Amino acid sequence: NLWDEADRDVSMLVSKQYSGKVVGWGLVEGGGRTNNLNRVEMNFLDAESCQKGVPAFKRNGFPKKDKSYCAIRENQTVCSGDSGGGMFLYDSNRKAYYLRGFVSQGVTAGRGCEANVPVLFTDIAFYLKWIEQIALPKCYNLLGYGECPMFGMDENKYKLPLGIAHLKYQFRRNLLISDCHGVLISKKHVLTQAGCVEPNQLREL
């Protein structure tokens, strides 16, 4: 399920010491790659502590209110290749995971990524209306349900089969490279950060 738009206050998640699970196939300790899907549980962090931990975030105006947030985990982190991967929070009352954000930016250190420093996430709660209008228009029954998926508190009407998408692009003909992830929100749509679909010198889409 996607996060409920009516509950967008990150400060509440910080004050109650909420954490979310982040999964991905990014680089592991020492800069190596893995075929195993890894998971890390990260704690929500207030904006001031985030900017103290990563001065570059403050210089660039991150986290932006309502649009992004920070999270951290002692001795663990996300790394290159985890961009676009989702952060999921478990609701014990509804017995379901909810997608709250995407990995946007971490801090590299040598060949790997630096643990014990904040990671920036795109806050999906800010973009729910856009997702509804563009990716899940009401006139299409993309998931084959009796009623088209709609945003709201009625969980029976709005359950999405969220899954992890390992995004790859072709490099030098026979080689497939992955530097991003996404989240499947329907049978036809993958949600990820913009940088994962922008062409660059190595990646032509």
pLDDT given for residue 53 in this prediction: 92
The one-digit pLDDT tens for each residue of the chain (205 residues) are 777 656 678 888 898 888 999 988 887 777 777 778 888 899 999 999 999 999 989 999 999 988 999 999 988 888 887 888 889 988 888 788 888 988 888 766 555 578 888 999 999 888 888 887 776 655 444 444 444 443 333 443 334 345 777 676 666 666 555 667 788 777 777 888 777 777 665 555 4
Identify whether 199 is preceded by a cis peptide bond (ω within 30 of 0). no
SS3 content of the chain, % helix, strand, coil (to 5): 20, 35, 50
Going through 5-156 in order, the beta strands assigned E by DSSP cover 19-24, 38-45, 68-72, 86-91, 96-105, 108-109, 112-113, 119-123
Among candidate residues 10, 90, 74, the one with its CA nearest the CA of residue 40: 74
Provide the residue type at 27 as one letter. Answer: L
**Domains of the chain, each with CATH number or no CATH:** 10-126+162-192 (2.40.10.10)
Tokens of 120: 């920036």
| DSSP codes joined into one string, 118-144 | -EEEEEGGGGHHHIIIIIS-TT--TT-
pLDDT given for residue 174 in this prediction: 60
Distance CA 42, CA 55 (A): 20
Listed in sequence order, the residues at least 6 apart from 41 whose beta carbon sits closer than 8 Å to its beta carbon are 19, 20, 21, 22, 73
pLDDT given for residue 9 in this prediction: 81
Sign of the CA dihedral running 184, 190, 193, 195: positive
10 Å CB burial of residue 187 (0-12, 13-18, 19+) is: exposed
